[in-house]
């Protein structure tokens, strides 16, 4: 029997790597979609890239949408493109990917759409106006997809990373010294858990934190 | 003494009209920004239009950001432009307007940024993927602006209309018969209240509902 | 015409005083219920005390439930009675008061039930286990009352004070030097606003913060 | 090596049974605390019962707090004892159990405190005033415990069952015909997952729903 296909969008970072390894190690075939492969903000490009993947590997069982854009600055000093880039890496790219994989999932009545959120998905903050805009938007999209596609057998979940990842660009910029961070493998294991939850007891939103996160 | 200036962005609908009348009746000079005046998604156009208003009327005391886009359909049947239009009328236009009025407010250490939200600001729903994306995004932006600008004397608040407005386009499409709706004047009075709250007891988010709303 | 009656439960603190003055100054007859008058945890005592007030002053138009208990300590060091006292001053006393005033409100199809919450209504915190338990509980009660009694014409609202009150016992213990606090009069004005909102645009939960509150 | 000890409080229902089986099948020794064993509302009785269990079986590794009280009625028709029973089965019993197991966990710097919530933990509803009061209160307690004990190595999590369990008393009363319910085994598997999460990526609140839950 062929292995289920996991598609990692935003495969370039540390979490993308852990997700690929863990899903691969648990019986999935894993393919990645990187910025170099196609512009996530371009709906036609995403549709073509994913159609090509499906033609080669078969329908997607699990979408792991893990793209994001880092922009931290006082509101009046944000670069002109920051808000647009946060929206494109967030809800716009996510909607394009969901649209491309959903028909194949609906045809078999199963599948997983899993999206990576952040502290900024739940709370706005000074210096995080652009990121909170993008991450709130993604959460609103994911909740809407869950309500629409859960009854059709598609598990739609949002994973809120309320803290930083060891080895990430964000941690290298913003975490000082011995401050606690989450391990990418510890985080990735939870996406695998979500993909395997029993269908009559699905999680829609999962938060993950270090033991020291203030939340 | 000159009257404080209220700027209504998204002045065309029933709530825009009530806001203009009530602020005008309470001692404000009111100016409106309509789609015909400038494209809210175009940062340069918004900056120029608001600069022209400020040159003529003086600095803005209260921004009433009331624009929105209506798009209700199953996710896979949404028009290609629906998500973009919800984002442009939501966080993109709101950020452009905030950026244009904030310097004048910061110069005097006071002002109000008030934004109109909806049920879709708090919960995603089937058929509301585009609207929830735009409205969640606006809420994330507003929370971030509140955290950054409250300490500088600017009151930033989000008003969640958890129900439909009598006479609105949405009500004419989606409300049947005698179903309860909110009166635009009843709603607008709350924006005026927010603009007048004592500075050491500010509301960041205000919900408004008919007595029958399920919430 | 007789003046509407406002009943302040938990009338002893600084906010109780401001509420009494502001409602009195706006045309209400105001009566207070103090710990000395009756034990809020004793349903029969509350029922009798309020029945006596109603017999003398007529039915209650607006209940202002403002009681609370202060208990801040690490969980394993909380006094044995702390949790019980937070629950009694919170949801237990509130339910007893609501039960005593509701029949009179339902008879005329109008009235206001307004309850005072806190930061601990929205978020648990280390050292606040007892208070968060009581304040979360009160919020759950108030939401349920809102959903049940809004359609019958009773406005039920929860006011979240996300900060400390000038002159309060809590501020005298926990606020250092020039830290920002809310003025009791600034806060009380919002209860008056809630009691006067137009019936087709009611707020269910109102947050109040100083400009510097982190939220 | 001895097996870690799991203590199920509220062991009598369908979920208690599944939790016992699954933890037992995954290498835990499982003991149950039933209403017949001790009154959860009586702090001294709980302390003695758990001390006796610890003396016989060693320290508790994982507390599964699963007690609850079912009370559904219009607010003015609730039995006089309903609110008290919801609070006792909820936060009062939970605090007593947490207090009894925490010292042993702190001594070894690890352990899990897992608590069962419900839809009524997140939203009040008409006819659910007593249950929402108890379940909101439990959530406030659990959040506070998480913030206090996460940094000391204790994983504290709240599992929100947003739906009914197959075979439960609630389902037998309130679920008609073919309406979707969650399987107790599907739910219990998530408690096991929480007990095994990597320490630098802990979930504080997990929601579980059937595919058809409205949320």
HEC letters along chain D: CCCCEEEEECCCCHHHHHHHHHHHHCCCEEEEECCCCCCCCCHHHHHHHHHHHHHHHCCEEEEEECCCCCCCCCHHHCCCCHHHHHHHHHHHHHHHHHHHHHHHHHHHCCEEEEEEEEHHHCCCCCCCHHHHHHHHHHHHHHHHHHHHHHHHCEEEEEEEECCCECCCHHHHHHCCCCCCCECHHHHHHHHHHHHHCCCCCECCEEEEECCCCCC
ipTM: 0.96
Tell me what pLDDT residue D1 has.
57
Backbone angles phi, psi at C121, to 5 degrees: -75, -25
**Closest approach of chain A CAs to the CA of D129, in angstroms?**
25
**B75:A99 CB<8 A:** yes
Tell me what pLDDT residue B148 has.
96
- Element of type H or E holding B185: helix B184-196
**C124:D141 CB<8 A:** yes
Residue of A nearest to B126 (CA): A148
Instruction: Please report residues of B whose CB lies closer than 8 A to that of A124.
Output: 139-147
What pairs with residue C31 in β-bridges? C7
Instruction: Please report residues of B whose CB lies closer than 8 A to that of C181.
Output: 200
B59 exposed, middle or buried (CB, 10 Å; 0-12, 13-18, 19+)? middle
Instruction: Using pLDDT thresholds of 50, 70 and 90, give the confidence band for residue D170.
Output: confident
**Closest approach of chain B CAs to the CA of C182, in angstroms?**
5
What the block records as the tokens of B203 is 């509301």
Q: What is the pLDDT of residues B126-165, one digit of tens each?
A: 999 999 999 999 999 999 999 999 999 999 999 999 988 9
What pairs with residue A111 in β-bridges? A154
Instruction: List chains adjacent to chain D, taking adjacency as at least 3 C-beta pairs closer than 8 Å.
Output: A, C
- Strands B205-208, A154-161: pairing is unpaired
Residue with more model confidence, A10 or B191 = B191
What value, to the nearest 5°, has the Cα angle with vertex B2 and ends A76 and B53? 45
Q: What is the pLDDT along chain A (215 residues), one digit of tens a residue?
A: 589 999 999 888 899 999 999 999 999 999 999 878 899 999 999 999 999 999 999 999 999 999 999 999 999 999 989 999 999 999 999 999 999 999 999 999 999 999 999 999 999 999 999 999 999 999 999 999 999 999 999 999 999 999 889 888 888 888 777 678 899 999 999 999 999 998 889 999 999 998 765 55
**Closest approach of chain D CAs to the CA of C30, in angstroms?**
25
Nearest to A183 among D153, D201, D207 (CB): D201
Taking CA atoms, D160 is separated from B82, D73, D209, in Å, by 34, 22, 9
Instruction: List chains adjacent to chain A, taking adjacency as at least 3 C-beta pairs closer than 8 Å.
Output: B, D
Q: What is the pLDDT of residues B77-108, one digit of tens each?
A: 999 899 999 999 999 999 999 999 999 999 99
Instruction: Please report residues of B whose CB lies closer than 8 A to that of A128.
Output: 144
Residue from C200, C204, C215 to probe the interface with B (highest B Cβ count within 10 Å):
C200
Tell me what pLDDT residue C1 has.
58
Distance CA B163, CA C202 (A): 11
- Strands D205-208, D154-161: pairing is parallel
Three-state SS at A119: helix
**C137:D87 CB<8 A:** yes
**Closest approach of chain A CAs to the CA of D130, in angstroms?**
25
Residues B191 and B147 sit within 8 Å (Cβ to Cβ): no
What value, to the nearest 5°, has the Cα angle with vertex C72 and ends C67 and C73? 150
């Amino acid at each position: 029997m062929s292995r289920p296909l996991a598609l990692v969008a935003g495969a370039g970072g540390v979490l993308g790597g852990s997700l690929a390894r863990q899903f691969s190690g648990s019986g999935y075939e894993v393919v990645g979609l990187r910025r170099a492969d196609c512009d996530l903000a371009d709906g036609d490009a995403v549709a073509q890239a994913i159609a090509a993947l499906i033609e080669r590997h078969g329908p997607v069982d699990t979408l792991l949408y893990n793209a994001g854009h880092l922009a931290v600055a006082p509101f009046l000093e944000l670069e002109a493109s920051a808000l647009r880039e946060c929206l494109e890496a967030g809800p716009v790219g996510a909607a394009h990917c969901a649209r491309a994989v959903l028909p194949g999932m609906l045809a078999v009545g199963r599948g997983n759409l899993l999206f990576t959120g952040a502290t900024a998905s739940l709370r706005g903050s000074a210096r995080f106006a652009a990121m909170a805009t993008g991450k709130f938007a993604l959460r609103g999209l994911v909740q809407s997809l869950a309500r629409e596609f859960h009854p059709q057998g598609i598990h739609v979940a949002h994973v809120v990373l309320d803290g930083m990842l060891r080895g990430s660009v964000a941690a290298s910029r913003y975490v000082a010294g011995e401050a606690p961070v989450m391990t990418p493998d510890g985080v990735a294991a939870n996406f695998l858990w979500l993909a395997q939850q029993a269908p009559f007891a699905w999680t829609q939103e999962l938060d993950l934190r270090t033991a020291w996160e203030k939340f």
